[in-house]
Each structure stands twice: as C-alpha cells, then as structure tokens.
Amino acid sequence: MALIVQKYGGSSVADPERVKRVAQRVARTRRAGHQVVVVVSALGDTTDNLLELASKVCRRPPEREMDMLLATGEQVSCALLAMAMHGLGVKAISFTGAQVGIVTDRAHTRARIQDISAQRIQAALARKWVVIVAGFQGMTRDHEITTLGRGGSDLTAVALAKALNARICEIYTDVEGVYTADPRIVPNARKLPAISYDEMLELAGSGTQVMQARSMEVAKRYEVPLHIRSSFSRATGTIISKEVKAMEQVAVSGVSLQKDEAKVTVCDVPDRPGVAATIFTRISDANINVDMIVQNVSRTGFTDVSFTVSRADLARVLRVTRRVAAEVKAGRVIHDDGVAKVSVVGVGMRSHSGIAAKMFQALAKESINIEMISTSEIKISCIIRKDQAVKAVRTLHDSFELEKLGKSSARK
Ligand code: ASP
Ligand code: MG
C-alpha cells in the first residue's frame, strides 16, 4: 500500500463523461489498495471563462475578488468528482484548499503556499476515504481565499505530495508525457521516459507548458517524485526525478519554444554603476518578470540594454521602463513583439562541449538570424523572429537527432 497523489488537469475533467472516467481511474488505484489523494483543476476552460466574465463587469477587478471568483472553478470540479466516486460505490470526500489547511501569503492571484496542516486529509485517509482537494487555491492566516497563479493545481499537488510524504505524485494531463519537442510542431518528437528536475524547470521556463514552473521548483527542492502521464491512456509517461548518471550521456534532451515573448530596448543608457540596478529594481517592484537581459560593453559612455518579458506584460513594462529611462537620463525605449525564443536543454551539456556552436550552425543553415543569446549550465536560448520559430524548432530537433531519443535512447 502506498500513498499516491494524483492531479487531473482541466482537460481531463472537461465534461461529465470525463469526470466519470477520472473517477474510474481513481477507483482502480483505490481498489489496488493504495491511499489516494486527488487534486483537480477546474473543468475545461472554466478559469478562462471566469476571467472573461470578470473583465466584462470591471476593467481592473480587485485581486481579492478575483480570487473569490476563480476559486469557485475548482470547488465545482472537486465536488463533482466526489459525487462520481460515490456513484461508483467508492467513499470519497472533497475539500477546498482552505478546508485542508493550505495556508498561503496574501499575494492574491499568485499566492505562495506557506504551510499545509494535513491532519484533515490524514483523518479521512485513515477512514479509507479517497480525498479530493480543490487545486489552485488556499487561504491566508486571516481567512482570505487566495489562488496560486495559473496552472496552480500542479503546485497544490506537489505541495500535498510533499506534506503527506507520498510515494509518487502523478500529474494526469492530455499529453503522454514530456516530449523532445512539441509534437504539434515536430511530428517525430519522442516521449522521454525520464528527465531531471533541472531540465524540466528549464523547459517550463522556455515555453514547454506541461507543468507550472513554480510547482517544478517546489518538486525539485523537496525531491518530490513526479510522473507526468495521460489521463486518456494507461501508458506510462515521463518520470521526473533527481539527475542520474545515465542522463548525462545525452547532451540535448529537448527543444522548446516560447512564442509569447517581447523584447524591450533602452537606448543610450549612461555607462555608470547603479543604472542597471535602478532600471531593473523598478521593473521588479512592478512585479514584472524579466527573462533575458543583454547589455553590450560601452565604447562611448552609453550603451543599449535589451531585455525580454512575457508579451502579456509588455504594456506595463513599457510604462515603467519609459519612466525610469527618463530618470536615469537614458534615451528612447523601443520594443518588438515579433520575436520568439527557442531553447535547447539538457543536463549532458555540462559534460559535452560545442553545443552552442552546433545550435548556431543549425540556425544559420536555415538563414535564421539570432538577435539575443542567453545560456545557463544546461540551456541555450536564442531570440529569433517569430515567423521563423517553427522552422527553428524543427531544424534543431533534426540537428541534435532527438528523434533517436525516447524509447531507444540511453535514457531508459
Ligand atoms: N484552473 C486553474 C488554471 O486554469 C488552475 C489549474 O488549472 O491548474 O490556471
Ligand atoms: Mg491547468
């Protein structure tokens, strides 16, 4: 007998039939003798629909009220799943995040989990009930409802798996696992049997939307074992775990694409200490995440500073940046939202050389111009024109022969 946390995403519970299918899968796990804690997302596009509804009554809804609204989505799905379980004759009980003591800070719409008092879950498990928890939500110490940022049900699942010391946290989704590239772009992309937390984190930050990036950080920190798999099949998916030696044999394990990037350039920034600090402090005070930053050496006492942000933040970042540019006596602020970011990721990069050169050659061969480059120990990212993004992903997948990974690879 093991304690298993299973998380089902919105597409897995999009309609009553699918809710019943999930109930059957949960019932199978329960009947096999395991203790099961289920985390559900809101049905289908519920959260998007609620956001749209909010925008129709108010241009900038207060974030507290936004959380009151958004948290209802998961409350619907967890109650429905509990009912479906009862329909199958399996004892189950649903709880909101607040009811099971998921305590967060007060950052509405993007709250962080501070504490989980899992007693209520443990008591229900001890009575042999399946416990179903509404994903994506928690409560502040003064009883305000909060949500954990888009995709936050993943975080609920990972945090519960940690708090309950679960044997495995299964993330059920509408894809079979983590692929070497998006199969909609690269038809011969391969499902990876295993991948490390670090690679998954880099992929999540580079456009591979399998799991919420924050949930991956928590999974990595506490080494919560994850299994990403499809709720529509019985096939095993991708195991995410600590790095093991065999993973290093492969230099590149995936190519990802981030299309929603925008580039901002502050021209003629005075070259003296403290200027970058001022600019990026203002941006971070506005709660805007900056991705890449490039600044060249200055030969004239002035230099251009470029950075990228998510396109959703562009209007806001431009307002902030124009203000601070004037303050530090820099020049114009220009922007470009016709860009995309392609990245190659792999822990094997630590021990293989020449990966960057190979990536740039592959892009050059397709006449794709590189506008910005950034690297980490296990990732190389390039900003390119958005209309060349698909071609870039395909050519990189080919050059690194990623179609040879997966089933027949060293990553067994
Ligand atoms: N329903 C929320 C969202 O769509 C949380 C989740 O699905 O994980 O972002
Ligand atoms: Mg989701």
Which of 141, 173, 205 terminates a domain? The answer is 173
Residue 240 belongs to a domain? no
Buried b (16+ CB within 10 A) or exposed e, 30-45: beeebbbbbbbbbbbe
Structure tokens at 378: 């296990």
Q: Is 42 in the pocket of ligand 1 (CB under 6 A)?
A: yes
Are 37 and 160 in a shared domain?
yes
CA 43 to centroid of ligand 1, rounded, Å: 9
Which of 173, 202, 220 terminates a domain? The answer is 173
DSSP 116: E
CB 366 within 8 A of CB 388: yes
Which of 173, 204, 230 terminates a domain? The answer is 173
Q: Is 153 in the pocket of ligand 1 (CB under 6 A)?
A: yes
Are 14 and 131 in a shared domain?
yes
CA 273 to centroid of ligand 1, rounded, Å: 42
Residue 184 belongs to a domain? no
Residue 353 belongs to a domain? yes
DSSP-based three-state secondary structure for 80 = helix
Residue 238 belongs to a domain? no
Buried b (16+ CB within 10 A) or exposed e, 217-250: bbbbeeebbbbbbbbeeeeebbbbbebeeebbeb
CATH number at residue 161: 3.40.1160.10
Task: Give the ligand 1 atom nearest the CA of 155.
Answer: 8
Are 23 and 158 in a shared domain?
yes
Can you give the pLDDT of all 412 residues of the chain as single tens digits? Answer: 899 999 999 999 999 999 999 999 999 999 999 999 999 999 999 999 999 999 999 999 999 999 999 999 999 999 999 999 999 999 999 999 999 999 999 999 999 999 999 899 999 999 999 999 999 999 999 999 999 999 999 999 999 999 999 999 999 998 899 999 999 999 999 999 999 999 999 988 777 778 998 999 999 999 999 999 999 999 999 999 998 877 788 889 999 999 999 999 999 999 989 999 999 999 999 989 999 999 888 888 999 999 999 999 999 999 999 999 999 999 999 999 999 999 999 999 988 889 999 999 999 999 999 999 999 999 999 999 999 999 999 999 999 999 988 653 334 3
Q: Is 97 in the pocket of ligand 1 (CB under 6 A)?
A: no
Are 154 and 261 in a shared domain?
no
The one-letter amino acid code at 174 reads D
Residue 185 belongs to a domain? no
Structural domain for 62, as ranges: 3-173
**What is the pTM (predicted TM-score) of this model?**
0.87
The helix (run of H) or strand (run of E) holding residue 385 is strand 379-385
Are 278 and 165 in a shared domain?
no
CATH number at residue 272: 3.30.2130.10
The count of C-alpha atoms lying within 13 angstroms of the C-alpha of 59, restricted to the half-sphere facing its C-beta, is 0
Nearest Cα to Cα of residue 325 among 275, 373, 256, 396: 275
Residue 193 belongs to a domain? no
d(CA 404, CA 392): 18
What is the number of the ligand closest to the CA of 209?
2
Give residues with Cβ within 8 angstroms of 191, minimum separation 6.
Answer: 176, 177, 178, 179, 237, 238, 406, 407
CA 137 to centroid of ligand 1, rounded, Å: 10
Are 9 and 129 in a shared domain?
yes
State how beta strands 372-376 and 379-385 pair.
antiparallel
Residue 201 belongs to a domain? no
Are 290 and 164 in a shared domain?
no
Please state, as a whole number, how many other Cβ atoms lie within 10 Å of the Cβ of residue 84: 23
| Domain count for the chain | 2
CA 206 to centroid of ligand 2, rounded, Å: 17
CB 341 within 8 A of CB 333: no
Q: Which residue carries 């060293």 as its tokens?
A: 410
Residue of 11, 39, 47, 110 to mutate, ligand 1, most atoms within 8 A of C-beta: 47
Helix H segments across 127-274? 153-164, 197-205, 213-222
Are 11 and 120 in a shared domain?
yes
